[in-house]
């Protein structure tokens, strides 16, 4: 029986590598493309010996040549942390524009099904709360975060154009804050920052007054939702995330409690265009996919902390590799 072949761009990244795991377990053949600008082969090292897995180091802003049949293409390549896309703004814009165009071209050639990893950032600093898929967003296109926000908004636009003009079967997943094992120690997002600081008894840096609202989805919940979406008939954008809200100061105090850290909380000025609230409306995912997250924040944080502790020890033992 022919195994379905899936190409995953950004497959060595945080979410991409977990997606590789899932699809290998579901009996797919996986071709992982990644230029490793913000990811690591360490995330996929245990898959490299699997006969159904293949890694190709490649920048998707360049022409993509894949021999043979391809059934699905999942475009997850992009810097996703503010630290990364502020460091690589042009690369972020190119992977969202040229990269998405190249990947859609591959889909058109192979008549493959396509999924775009979009983001809650397309809603910007939202004026509607929670954010449904019908909300058009409130984005500063020339602000420092515009390189990521507008790259993803363009990606969505060209995806829908290929769907309408070339009749490609396309999916768009708008991913809200996700956390878990394989996030980098220096990722720059709030949960890795707080965990690293707390474990090392360093000051917990909270921006603004910590009253910003966020919702956090554990990686296994997100991957299950993505898998359901891949197999669905949905072509319009779909939110995936955990709708339970927390303020940043609540998150900081919870991590201090779980780590039993001696760290103190310190406050820093709020970054430019930092969203004041972010919460997904997942009504459509519940209704159509029969999906909703299961892992509570405290449980997910405990699992993430155990992974971080191991990574920190490894970094200390092998500082050059870190």
Residue 291, token pair as written in the block: 């999906």
Burial 183-201 (b: 16+ CB within 10 A, else e): bbeebbbbbbbbbbbbbee
Distance CA 120, CA 288 (A): 19
196 in active site: no
Strand-pairing partners, residue 57, are 34
Residue 11, token pair as written in the block: 């497959």
Cis peptide before 130 (omega within 30 of 0): yes
Q: How many CB atoms lie within 10 A of CB 25?
A: 9
Cβ neighbors of 267 (< 8 A, separation 6 or more) are: 205, 206, 207, 208, 209, 210
- Check: CB of residue 173 under 8 Å from CB of residue 240: yes
Strands 178-179 and 72-75: unpaired
| Catalytic member of 85, 123, 148, 218 | 148
Quick one: DSSP state of residue 138? B
Go through the chain and tell me how many residues it has: 322
- Which backbone phi and psi does 146 adopt, to 5 degrees? -60, -30
Distance CA 216, CA 198 (A): 18
Distance CA 149, CA 169 (A): 24
Distance CA 43, CA 184 (A): 10
- Check: CB of residue 241 under 8 Å from CB of residue 280: yes
Residue 33, token pair as written in the block: 């493309």
Q: Which residues are catalytic?
A: 148
């Amino acid at each position: 029986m022919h195994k379905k072949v899936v190409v995953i761009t950004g497959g060595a990244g945080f979410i991409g590598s977990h997606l590789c795991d899932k699809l290998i377990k579901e009996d797919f053949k996986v071709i992982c493309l990644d230029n490793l600008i913000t990811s690591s082969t360490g995330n996929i090292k245990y898959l490299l010996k699997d006969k159904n897995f293949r890694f190709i180091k490649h920048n998707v802003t360049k022409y993509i040549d894949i021999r043979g049949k391809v059934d699905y293409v999942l475009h997850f390549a992009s810097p996703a942390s503010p630290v990364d896309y502020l460091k690589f703004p042009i690369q972020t814009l190119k992977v969202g524009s040229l990269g998405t165009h190249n990947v859609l071209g591959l889909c058109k050639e192979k008549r493959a099904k396509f999924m775009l990893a979009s983001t809650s950032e397309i809603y910007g600093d939202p004026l509607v709360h929670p954010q449904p898929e019908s909300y058009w967003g409130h984005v500063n296109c020339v602000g420092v975060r515009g390189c990521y926000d507008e790259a993803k908004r363009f990606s969505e636009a060209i995806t829908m154009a290929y769907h309408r003009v070339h009749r490609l079967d396309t999916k768009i997943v708008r991913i809200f804050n996700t956390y878990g094992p394989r996030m980098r120690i220096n990722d720059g997002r709030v949960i890795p920052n707080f965990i690293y600081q707390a474990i090392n008894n360093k000051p917990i840096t909270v921006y603004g007054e910590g009253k910003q609202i966020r919702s956090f989805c554990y990686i296994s919940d997100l991957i299950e939702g993505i898998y359901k979406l891949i197999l669905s008939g949905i072509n319009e954008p779909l939110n995936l995330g955990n709708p339970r809200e927390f303020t940043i100061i609540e998150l900081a105090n919870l991590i201090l409690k779980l780590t039993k850290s001696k760290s103190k909380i310190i406050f820093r000025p709020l970054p430019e265009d930092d969203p004041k609230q972010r919460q997904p409306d997942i009504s459509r995912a519940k209704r159509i996919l029969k999906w909703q997250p299961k892992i509570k924040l405290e449980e997910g944080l405990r699992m993430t902390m155990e992974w971080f502790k191991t990574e920190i020890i490894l970094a200390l033992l092998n500082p050059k590799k870190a």
